[in-house]
Structure 1
Amino acid sequence: MKKVVIVGTNHAGTAATNTILDNSNNHQVTVFDSNNNISFLGCGMALWIGNQIAGPEGLFYSNKETLESKGAKVYMETPVNKIDFNAKVVYGKNAHGEIIEEHYDDLILATGSLPIIPKIQGMELENVQKVKLYQHAEVVIEKLKNPEIRDVVVVGAGYIGVELAEAFERHGKNVTLIDIATTSLPAYYDAPFTQMMNENLSSHGIKLAFGETVQKLEGDGKVERVVTDKATHKADMVVMAIGFRPNTELGAEHLDQFRNGAYLVNKKQETSIPNVYAIGDCATVYDNSIDNTSYIALATNAVRSAIVAAHNVIGNDIDSAGVQGSNGIAIYDLKMVSTGITAERAKLLGLDVLYTDFEDLQKPEFITEENHKVKLRIVYDAKTRIILGAQMASQHDMSMGIHLFSLAIQEKVTIDKLALTDLFFLPHFNKPYNYVTMAAITAK
């Protein structure tokens, strides 16, 4: 029986463990994790913090007992501190200080990512928080019960920062959202869409401090102020949501890495060392929208990469189909989704692209209830006319539509072919010539 060791059991590690055990009787799986829980759905933390769900229980979709019932050997609170790639041995140290050694035939690294913490004055002050793990969210929720915490500053206006800003505002806090960029969500959307989100946040009382660089935090024991290059913001709590970096210190000197430090893998999730795989946020992905290796940390990418690696471990020779970086966000009544690259990113990459914009009601005008406008942008190559990206926004849940564009990018569909694609019509759902069709038809 072959031995597989998996380091890390969040989205990627859990999916890899399940896939191997569900599809093979010839593999013994041993799992290491440094935390006391597994499979925490971190993207649901803002819902928990903002009291939009009853509690955190539903944010866990597996546990130690479930994996053990399938036959896995699970070491919790046992960080791996050394790997001997020549002897194929993993060394962990449990909560009692005992050294655990496990030999492997195949190794899967699912070490995830770590919060980016700026090296600025005042980070040691009380009530300066990070939000990544279950324990982080638990601490923040407890502190929000303190009536003295009235002013909350969130640093970073990506997905996590924007979601946390909404969550804190739902608690009645005075919220300031700071980012060095001049808008929210610039990595995922072009200006017409980010402006919609900015107006949405402002209309709910969230103060936007964009284009500002945090220089230091000030306070007497507890944080009291955030000082940027342009202003000083009052703060009883500061939450750092700048972003994440791949957690690849383990074995980094032995494995090839991407420019941001992620483990460099091929489409089978194989690293530069035979029988060593990397999956999830610690590894690269193949981005179909740019036809190149990239880094896109998303739970969906983590699960897909885990399934690919697991099947290759058990002998099913498969390649990843690549990813498009499909993502979405819902803040108050505004829902936004995107996939592939934006027109702005294409420009930064030196790509020659065009885009087509269209906005229309979701349903025919005679449907007077629950009929909102949908805004759509499709980005496509100027020469080949192959679709490279799409962005959508509405008060409707139009999220299923982005899957169409994700598949179109993967399969290299042209904007002209999309214009004649068979899309069904029923007044309850859409228009005969709906916004997707019309955007494609009216493309230059």
Structure 2
Amino acid sequence: MSKIVVIGANHAGTACINTILGAKTKDEVVVFDRNNNISFLGCGMALWIGNQIHSGDGLFYSNKEKLEAAGAKVNMESEIKSIDFEDKKVNAVLKDGTTVSESYDKLVLATGSIPVVPNIPGKDLENVQLVKLYQNAQEVIEKLKNPEIKNITVVGAGYIGVELAEAFERHGKNVTLIDVCDTVLASYYDKEFSQKMQDVLVNHGIKTVFEETVIEIKGDGKVESVVTDKGEYKSDMVILSIGFKPNNELGKEKLELFKNGAYLVNKKQETSIKDVYAIGDCATVYDNTIGDRNYIALATNAVRSGIVAASNIVGTELETIGVQGSNGISIYDYKMVSTGLSVKKANSLGIEVEYVDFNDLQKPEFIETENPEVKIRIVYDKKTRVILGAQIASYYDMSMGIHMFSLAIQEKTTVDKLKLLDIFFLPHFNKPYNYITMAALNAK
């Protein structure tokens, strides 16, 4: 029987703990987490803030009681002060102030990520908000009740920033969305797609400001405006959603790191020190699009990494099959999904690609009910024609289609294989020559 210490019990940690305990190996599992809750689904936070769901209670799927009922010893609101990797000990301060030195046979680091906060004047003013934890969302929701907060500036136009911009506009606030890039969602989509989402935001009254860098937040105690290198924007609240970085504080001096500071792990989630595993947002993933390790912080990746690490810890050898970074967003019911590489990303990596675009209705023209247009792009290697990425956008929920492209990238399928792929037809669902088939047929 081994003693396994898990530091961090959110998505990756919870998946790891449940998998270890589910194996019935009688291993001792000791958990430390500095928060007072676990398993918060931050991806649903904007729905809560925007009153699209009535409560945040449903954004949890586990808790201390559930993990302890399964057999773990869980220490919430505990702070890890240091780790002695040589003697295999974790030094922590518990909620009641007690100092403990917990030995381990195997250690799992699931410390997640932390928000990027620019070091600019005014970042500590009242009503400058981070939105990552449950408590952050609670605080923002409470402040939205203040009628004096009329103008909200969101800094960062990635997924969280765009979702929050919609949420604040649903409260009737004047919303400004600022980013250094030239469009929204620049990390996931090519301009032809992201521009469509930008149009959706603008059509709902959200002011978009691109290619500007925030250099100061002004105010006398409270926020009054946001200053960029090109302008100034009146603000009663500022949301910093610039991005996240791996929380590597506990092991950065001892463990091998990726270029952004994430713990480098192999396909078994093992770090550079024996018996130490890293999972979730603090660790790398194996990216099938580039055939190498990368950093892609997604809850789905976190859960899978937790399962892989736990399986190896309990003696069931398991390697990750890699990821494609599949993702999606729905703003004012306009849906965009992507997986793998965009053309822009491929070019930045020096990968020669071709792409094919196709626009069509979801269903045959004779369908008299809702029948939105769908836009698709398939990105593929110029030489091998292996599919490397896909993007789809529509008011229709076509999201399941991106899973097929994720598998295609994983299995190194060529775009030509799609031309005669067995895709069913029924007018209730699609067209006989649907946009996936037609896009493949039109590939150069």
Alignment of 1:377-392 (within 5 A): 377-392=377-392
**C-alpha contact (below 8 Å) 1:78/1:95 kept by paired residues:** yes
Q: How many Å separate the matches in 1 of 2:73 and 2:149? A: 44
Alignment correspondent of 1:250: 250
* Bigger mean CA deviation after superposition, 95-104 or 218-227: 95-104
Q: 2:307 aligns to what?
A: 307
Report the CA distance between 1:124 and its aligned residue.
1.4
Give the superposition deviation at 1:282.
0.2
Give the secondary structure class of the aligned counterpart of 2:350.
coil
- 1:406 corresponding residue in structure 2: 406
The corresponding residue for 2:77 is 77
Say yes or no: does 1:227 pair with 2:227. yes
Mapped to 2, the partners of 1:346 and 1:95 lie a distance apart of: 47
**Distance in 1, Cα, partners of 2:434 & 2:292:** 33
1:114 is paired with a residue whose SS is strand
- Please show how residues 189-200 of structure 1 align to structure 2 within 5 Å: 189-200=189-200
The Cα of 1:204 is off from its aligned counterpart by 0.2
TM-superposed CA distance for 1:394, in Å, is 0.3
Structure 1 gap ranges (5+): none
Report what 1:65 is aligned to. Answer: 65
Question: What's 2:19 paired with?
Answer: 19
Q: Which amino acid aligns with 1:181?
A: C
SS in 2 for 1:201: helix
Q: Name the SS for the 2:201 alignment partner.
A: helix
Shift of residue 28, structure 1, vs aligned partner? 1.3
Report the Cα distance in structure 1 between the residues aligned to 2:232 and 2:302, rounded to whole angstroms.
39
Conservation of the 8 A alpha-carbon contact between 1:24 and 1:314: no
CA distance in 1, matches of 2:78, 2:353: 49
Aligned match of 2:155:
155
What is the match of residue 341 of structure 2?
341
Question: How far 1:91 moved relative to its partner?
Answer: 1.3
* 83-92 or 94-103, larger mean C-alpha shift: 94-103
Supply the AA of the counterpart residue of 1:275.
D
Residue by residue over 1:337-389, the C-alpha shift from the partner in whole angstroms, topping out at 9 and shown as x without a partner, is: 00001001101111110000011001111112111111000000000000000
- Corresponding residue for 2:87? 87
**What whole-Å deviation, never above 9, does each CA across 1:98-140 have from its counterpart, x for those lacking one?**
1122211111100000000000000111100000101111100
CA distance in 2, matches of 1:100, 1:392: 51
> How big is the alpha-carbon RMSD for the aligned residues of Structure 1 and Structure 2?
0.7
Equivalences for residues 171-190 of structure 1 within 5 A: 171-190=171-190
1:49 alignment partner in structure 2: 49
d(CA) in 2 for partners of 1:251, 1:290 = 27
In the alignment, is the contact (CA less than 8 A) between 2:10 and 2:38 conserved in 1? yes
TM-score by length of structure 2 reads 0.99
Q: Name 1:362's counterpart in structure 2.
A: 362
Q: Give yes or no for contact 1:363–1:430 (8 Å, CA) kept in 2.
A: yes
Structure 2 residue 30 is the aligned partner of structure 1 residue 37: no
The answer as to 2:216 corresponding to 1:202 is: no
- Mapped contact 2:25–2:314 kept (Cα < 8 A): no
Describe the SS at the equivalent of 2:199.
helix
**Aligned pairs, how many?**
444
Provide the secondary structure at the position in 1 that maps to 2:28: strand
What is the rounded CA distance, in whole Å, between the counterparts of 1:60 and 1:171 in structure 2? 24
Report how far residue 87 of structure 1 moved.
1.1
Q: 1:111 and 2:111 equivalent?
A: yes
- Could you give the per-residue CA deviations for residues 58-100 of structure 1, whole angstroms, max 9, x where no partner exists? 1000000000000000000002111111111111111222112
Is contact 1:94–1:100 with CA below 8 Å preserved after alignment?
yes
Shift in Å, 1:25 = 2.6
User: Is the Cα contact below 8 Å between 1:214 and 1:228 reproduced in 2?
Assistant: yes
State how far apart, in whole Å, the 2-side matches of 1:13 and 1:188 are.
Answer: 26
Paired with 1:215 and 1:439, the residues of 2 have a C-alpha distance of 44
Q: 2:260 aligns to what?
A: 260
In 2, Cα distance between the equivalents of 1:106 and 1:138? 36
The CA deviation at 1:433 is 1.2
The TM-score with structure 1 as length reference comes to: 0.99
What is the alpha-carbon distance in structure 2 between the residues aligned to residue 45 and residue 102 of structure 1? 34
